Chains A and B, each alone.
Chain A
Amino acid sequence: MYNPILTIARKELSTLFSEKTLILALLIQLFVASFSSLLIVGLTSLYDPETLKGQTTSNAEIGVLGYQEKLVSLMEEEKINIHYYNDLQRALEAFDRGRIDAILTIPDDIDPGGTEIIRLTLYLPESDIKGTFVVMQIKESLSKFESFVREKRSHRIDFTPITLHVEKMPKKSAKYFEFIYTILIPLLVFTPIIISGGLVVDFITEEVERHTIEVLLTAPVSLPQIIAGKITTAIAIVPPQVAAWLFFLDLTNTHVANIPTIVLHSTLIALTIILTGSLIAIEYPNRSTAQYIYSLTLILLFTTSYILPDSPLNLTTRLAAGSIDPEETLTHLTLYTTIPIILYLSLHAKITRSNYTLRHHISD
């Protein structure tokens, strides 16, 4: 049986393979993924500096000027190695030689129960990774010291901190959890979608700019069928890529829940993006214009999705982490199904208008 839509789709798919475009696309995704995973420490610390805490293999070496019993004992509790100095000059020399990584000066007249603000001075290496480690280690003891002083003074301000008890603190840590589920997984799921949206823009504008659309239309196919065929190709390559990435993550011991649902969800979002791309390409059949408008639209959609509490990005996060129940998922997916339907109907209405021709709006 002859199906013009499938014929067009197959033709586009075969050029994708023959030009090795798909290989390049996978390479791009691999690049994006390897950048993020190679940087997992760097970027995660950027995202949440406290995660570096577990990375310290050696203790911080800190030079201290002055003395305060409680503060010093809190620092020792955090396994900080303290070196005492009498004057700043000597401490700075040691700092320069790399013997110590930070200097803390404690004034002599500290009175925890008093009414004066306690002022400490900390010298850190400028934007040094060592500086980050030191801050991570010393922050804890300084915070505890603050709580200690605050408690001594609390009768004056009538404040009791909220306390919750945990039976047994977990031994494992989950430092990369939020990075993996809120950044890495949505990134991997959405890259194939963005690529497919860009592809459909090229599929359509290429036919117009090369004037091949006129030739194609002399064959027994209609314009809606041609467009539908191109959309089919762009959408068909999304689910395999998404599924492959998620299985790959699952193999590397990152548990990804609801893989089939994520694939379905990403396909629906891909449809929305691809239809948006098609609408743009039909409105502006000049490739560079269409690609430019498409990129801007994508940036807008992404920035907006960070304003919304329930965005497709966040649905991916919650699905992958397994923290959403099926009923709520269904509500979201229903919404994400209606958007492409509306888009498709408006696209169809536009290209089936009796006087519609797909042509450059600007002169060649």
Chain B
Amino acid sequence: MLGLIKIALWEVRQTKSGVDPRAATLSLLLIAAIAAAGWSTSQFGFHTGDKLYTVAVDEEHLAEIIRTNPKFDVTTGGYNATKRFDLLIKRGVVTYQGDERSIAALDALDRTIREYDEERLIAKNDIPNAFPVWITINYLPRIQSFNLPTTLPHEDETSDSEDIYIIVPQEEDEERRATLPTPQPIVPTKETSRGRNIFQFDSQNIATPSKIEPPLPFRSVVLTFFFIFPIHFIAQFYSASIMNERVRKSGSLLLTAPIRASEIVLGKMLPYLAITLLFTILIGVAVGGNHRIVPLLLPVILTFLSTSFLAAVLARSFKELTFILVFLSVSLSGYLFLPTIFVNVHGVSTISPMSLVVELIEGEKIKLAEYLFATLPLYLVSLLVFTFGIFIYRDEDLFSQKSIPSKLIDSIEVFLTRLNEGYFSVFSLSALLIPIAFIFQLVAIVLLFNLPIETSIVLFVIVAALIEEGLKPLGIYTILKRKPETSFRQSAMLGAASGLGFFVGEKLIVLIVLISIADSIYGTAMGIGLLIPPLILHTTTTTTSALLTRRAGVKFYPLAVAIAATIHITYNLYLLRGAINV
């Protein structure tokens, strides 16, 4: 513990003295310039697709109107007849070409004219005659469900045959009824119909028909980026610090000191964690949240920090580090950001803690089950990534040019040796790999979510099986690689132990978090709910791949995984036969 604090203080001193004052000034200038540029786009609008469409008009008056939309490149008067225009306007008649661009131009022309008319009407300053119709919009919460809309049976159908079709009970919510907004006559003013602030979280507004905007997930997307930006940047500095230890070989000196590797790694992390938390709180308060944002974002920060640490340990060169970090950031951001689009739409959105952040800022209460569901996978993953990374935070891995897979195998080997390389060690490894498999599968759900439901289920079954079958025998692979003399019987037993470990781990996860997702069709695909068949499945597939690897050699590991996965896929498709008609 003392070592931890020592290292943390040392890291702060080191970084402080290492800051290049010119770079610091430049970065402040750049940030100011970005803020100015961002402000000006928010004031004067984005320029995208300027002069995308060509249009020829015979009247100057009309040309002026069309020019209000910068997307049009307008030609007037004696235009060249040989040139091709997307739209030709002669004496008030529009001619268009048959291609997509021309049709899109027609849509844009329609919008431009409507907007121009609206502007003229606003100038009349006579609301009852110019804007005679006003609509007050009230948004009402509706109970969300995990059921995918396309597979939800109609409510008055009696469906009892398939347990994967779960009808979400429509709870009577008396409290909600009481807080229902009552329509109030509000005298419309000009401001209410124009311009909207993204940080306005009120759920009632009033508009003319053309200004009604459908509910959009824009706020959550913007919010996610606000939070992820600093988290990503600071994690980069942490990984740079670890990488520097390796490049400058100063890490070697630290390792000989009477401090444990875990103290070095976590001690170096503490300052970065503290700064990120500070930023998070500042941003949280700025966007209208409060300190309760911290427990929601803590697992996100830890995931970023732990993966950046592992990347710094694994990478052989700077460019490799950059690429791994970008790759991790892109996939993590995707994992965090994609589900937020479905906030209040679909239960799956609560996979991402960012969805909960949005809900918190909107003033909703967060249930403990939701919190666990969104954060536990991330907590577990960061814990595991740190643990396995620390295993290889030693001379032979830090200062060598070993490839990434062989370093990962090294860390698994350390884990197995600490548990005497017995059946128990592979059992525990499989159980511990569950959160990793779980995260990958959740990413797969997120990615496959938008495909047609039948395709997405089949693809998910395949991807999920490959992930599980690839991870389960990793321990056995490591043992067989080191000790090819392991007997056939032992390999079979190791396979069974590993499969059992995965099964136990899976059931534990279910107990803790998956209660809410287990009823959905994806839950069924993940093999949750039944007891004996998945146990048999996991042990059979893992034993199969263990024996195949033992017989054919570790080189054929991918093939063994593919065969085991095929068994797994067949089993899962059989389970889901009712839903996908195969």
Partners in one complex: yes
Interface of A toward B, CB cutoff 8 Å: 15-16, 19, 21, 24-25, 27-28, 31-32, 34-35, 38-39, 41-42, 45-46, 49, 52, 92, 95-98, 105, 112, 115-129, 131-132, 135-136, 139, 142-143, 145-146, 149-150, 153-154, 156-157, 159, 161-167, 170, 172-174, 177-178, 181-183, 195, 198-199, 202-203, 205-206, 209-210, 255, 284, 286-289, 291-293, 295-297, 299-300, 303-304, 306-311, 313-314, 317-318, 321-324, 361-364
Q: How far is the CA of A88 from the CA of B183 in the complex (A)?
A: 11
Give the Cβ gap from B309 to chain A, nearest Cβ, in Å: 14
Interface of B toward A, CB cutoff 8 Å: 17-20, 22-23, 26-27, 30-31, 33-34, 37-38, 40-41, 44, 46-54, 62, 65, 70, 73, 86, 89, 92-96, 98, 100-101, 103-104, 106-109, 113, 116-117, 120-121, 124, 126-143, 149, 155, 170, 177, 180, 183, 185, 188, 203, 208-210, 212-218, 221, 233, 236-237, 240-241, 243-244, 247-248, 316-324, 326-327, 330-331, 334, 338, 341-345, 447, 449-451
15 examples of A-B residue contacts, CB within 8 angstroms: A49-B214, A96-B142, A124-B138, A124-B215, A128-B215, A132-B214, A142-B212, A146-B133, A159-B124, A164-B94, A167-B93, A209-B318, A286-B23, A299-B30, A313-B48
How many cross-chain pairs have Cβ atoms below 8 Å apart between A and B? Answer: 342
Contact A177 B34 (CB under 8 A): no
Give the Cβ gap from B421 to chain A, nearest Cβ, in Å: 30
Contact A122 B138 (CB under 8 A): yes
Contact B100 A161 (CB under 8 A): no
Q: How far is the CA of A344 from the CA of B216 in the complex (A)?
A: 46
Residue ID in chain A nearest B48 by CB atoms:
A182
- CB neighbours (8 Å) of B53 from chain A are 323
Q: Which of B54, B62, B106, B221 contacts A166 (CB 8 A)?
A: B106
Give the Cβ gap from A213 to chain B, nearest Cβ, in Å: 13
Contact A123 B221 (CB under 8 A): no
Contact B133 A19 (CB under 8 A): no
Q: Which of A115, A177, A287 contacts B128 (CB 8 A)?
A: A115
- If A46-B221, A288-B240, A307-B40 touch, whether A125 touches B139 (CB-CB below 8 Å) is yes
Q: How far is the CA of A74 from the CA of B170 in the complex (A)?
A: 33
- If A135-B214, A177-B100, A297-B30 touch, whether A126 touches B139 (CB-CB below 8 Å) is yes
Contact A199 B319 (CB under 8 A): yes
Contact A146 B132 (CB under 8 A): yes
Contact B48 A166 (CB under 8 A): no
Q: Which of B48, B170, B208, B216 contacts A96 (CB 8 A)?
A: B170
Q: A31-B334, A202-B319, A202-B321 are in contact. List 6 more A-B contacts (CB 8 A).
A: A122-B136, A125-B139, A172-B98, A293-B30, A323-B54, A324-B51
- CB neighbours (8 Å) of B100 from chain A are 172, 174, 177, 255
Give the Cβ gap from B23 to chain A, nearest Cβ, in Å: 5
Contact A156 B126 (CB under 8 A): yes
Give the Cβ gap from A191 to chain B, nearest Cβ, in Å: 10
- CB neighbours (8 Å) of A115 from chain B are 128-129
Give the Cβ gap from A352 to chain B, nearest Cβ, in Å: 22
Q: Which of A125, A164, A210, A287 contacts B113 (CB 8 A)?
A: A164
- CB neighbours (8 Å) of B94 from chain A are 164-167
- If A128-B142, A289-B20, A306-B46 touch, whether A164 touches B92 (CB-CB below 8 Å) is yes
Contact A288 B236 (CB under 8 A): yes
Give the Cβ gap from A44 to chain B, nearest Cβ, in Å: 12
Q: Which of A42, A97, A210 contacts B170 (CB 8 A)?
A: A97
- CB neighbours (8 Å) of B155 from chain A are 97-98
Q: How far is the CA of A182 from the CA of B248 in the complex (A)?
A: 45
Contact A323 B138 (CB under 8 A): no
Q: How far is the CA of A165 from the CA of B95 in the complex (A)?
A: 9
Residue ID in chain A nearest B107 by CB atoms:
A174
Residue ID in chain A nearest B450 by CB atoms:
A38
Q: Which of B134, B203, B212 contacts A117 (CB 8 A)?
A: B134
- CB neighbours (8 Å) of A198 from chain B are 322, 326
- CB neighbours (8 Å) of B343 from chain A are 127
- If A291-B236, A292-B27, A309-B47 touch, whether A128 touches B38 (CB-CB below 8 Å) is no
Give the Cβ gap from B48 to chain A, nearest Cβ, in Å: 4
- If A21-B319, A128-B345 touch, whether A303 touches B139 (CB-CB below 8 Å) is no
Contact B212 A306 (CB under 8 A): no
- CB neighbours (8 Å) of B327 from chain A are 24, 27-28, 31
Residue ID in chain A nearest B111 by CB atoms:
A50
Q: Which of B52, B130, B180 has the most CB of A within 10 A?
A: B52
- If A124-B140, A162-B113, A206-B318 touch, whether A306 touches B127 (CB-CB below 8 Å) is no
- If A120-B136, A165-B93 touch, whether A39 touches B48 (CB-CB below 8 Å) is no
